[in-house]
Structure 1
Amino acid sequence: MVHKIAEMFKESTTKLQSNGSARISAFRRFIFAPNLLTFVISVVVGNSFGSAIKDLIATVSGLLKTLTIWLFTSGHTLNLDYALTPFASLLDSLLTLLFIAIVVFYTIQFINDYLVRNNDEKWGYDQAHVDAIKIQNLQNKNNQLVEENIKLQHELLEEFRKNK
């Protein structure tokens, strides 16, 4: 009886592990899906880039406001606060954008190198592109062989004409 209970427990454990493993594998494929990663990266980097553009516009606007006040208002000295505050924000945004890009790059590299098991699941991997590069290389090699063949045919014709 104890042996039968142990056997049933072992079967249930094995079934649970295989179901859990299948679910973990499905979740891993979902998380590392190229379309999902592309979307997430687009949102994060796009948001950061949008912030940098807004700060660039605020810097230019502040500079124009500073110049306008200085040139067209009598008795005002040149006050750069309107331009320097947005410029500092622009620098912050650009550094944030750079940092995000670096983190995203190394995160994707880590995912591709250590967490993804085959090339088809790698982010940025495109089988059609890989195949196109192989075909392009083969075509270049074929072109070289055709050129060599033409050159050899010309040499043979020259030899034939000399011997005639």
Structure 2
Amino acid sequence: MLFKPREKKEFLDTRDRLLKKSSESMVSFRRFIFAPNLLTFVISVVVGNAFGSTVKELVNTVSHFFYALWRWIVRSGHPLNFDSTLSALSDLFTSSLTLISIALAVFYFIEFINNWLIGTEQEKWGYDEPHQDSLDMQALQKKNNALVKENIALQKEMIELMKDIKKDK
């Protein structure tokens, strides 16, 4: 016999260890993939690229428009022709629709992640979710403001005490 028969308990223990390890790995992988910094980077690249294309097409459309006007003004007898401008305008429209489509797809993808794939409220991420580091910074700022107010009050008290000492002399 090539394989040693296993006891049922040994088999169940091995199965449980494997499931626990794979479950922990999946949780770690999910946290990595849906990390706010990674998602922010990906969204910035994808939407930024589409926005860059739209701006490029806008500049192209405007330059074609001014080139058509320039040819009409400078060249005598040249008819006013906006054919190249209409083509560039069509490209601008297509690029704008692409930008809007990508932005909507990213928005609904984040909604899907938050509503279906992330289990706890603390792990949720999105465009309106505050990051923990900014919340910590706000708490520190509030503490700092309270300490500054306390410091000002103590300084005023010391000034009053110094005035009283000067009067007594």
1:152 maps to which residue?
A: none
For residues 79-108 of structure 1, the C-alpha deviation after alignment (integer angstroms, 9 at most, x for no partner) is 112211111110011101111111111111
Q: Which residue number corresponds to residue 146 of structure 2? A: none
Unaligned runs of at least 5 residues, structure 2:
139-169
Q: 1:55 aligns to what?
A: 57
How many angstroms apart in 1 are the aligned matches of 2:133 and 2:28? 24
Where does residue 107 of structure 2 map in the other structure? 105
Which ranges in structure 1 are unaligned for 5 or more consecutive residues? 133-164
CA distance in 1, matches of 2:72, 2:84: 11
SS for the counterpart of 1:64 is: helix
Partner Cα separation in structure 1 for residue 133 and residue 16 of structure 2: 39
Match of 1:161 in 2: none
Q: Which of 22, 28, 31 is the matching residue for 2:30?
A: 28
Separation in 2, partners of 1:130, 1:64: 50
Alignment match, 2:46? 44
Structure 1 residue ranges, 4+ long, deviating more than 6 angstroms after superposition:
128-132
Name the SS of the counterpart of 2:7 in structure 1. Answer: helix
Letter in 2 for 1:45: V
TM-score by length of 1: 0.74
Percent identity over paired residues: 47
Relative to structure 1, is the Cα distance of residues 35 and 112 closer, same or farther in structure 2, using a 3 angstrom cutoff?
same
Aligned counterparts of 1:61 and 1:127: Cα–Cα separation in 2: 46
Query: 1:144 corresponds to which residue?
Result: none
Highest RCO, 1 vs 2 (Cα 8 Å, sep ≥ 6): 1
Distance 2:132 2:114 in 1: 15
Structure 2 counterpart of 1:65, which letter?
A: Y
CA displacement at 1:128 relative to structure 2: 6.7
Which of 7, 10, 20 is residue 8 of structure 1 equivalent to? 10
Give 3-state SS (helix, strand or coil) of 2:63's partner: helix
| Greater displacement, 70-79 / 22-31 | 70-79
Structure-1 separation of matches of 2:35 and 2:132: 15
Residue 26 of structure 1 and its aligned partner are, at CA, apart by 0.5
Task: Report the structure, 1 or 2, having the larger helix content.
Answer: 1
Structural mapping, 1:109-148, within 5 Å: 109-124=111-126, 125=129, 126-127=131-132
TM-score normalized by the length of structure 2? 0.71
CA RMSD of superposed structures (Å): 2.3
Shift of 1:130: 7.0
Contact 1:65 1:82 in 2 (8 A): no
- Separation in 1, partners of 2:33, 2:91: 34
Which amino acid counterpart does residue 35 of structure 1 have in structure 2?
A: N
Match for 1:106: what amino acid? Y
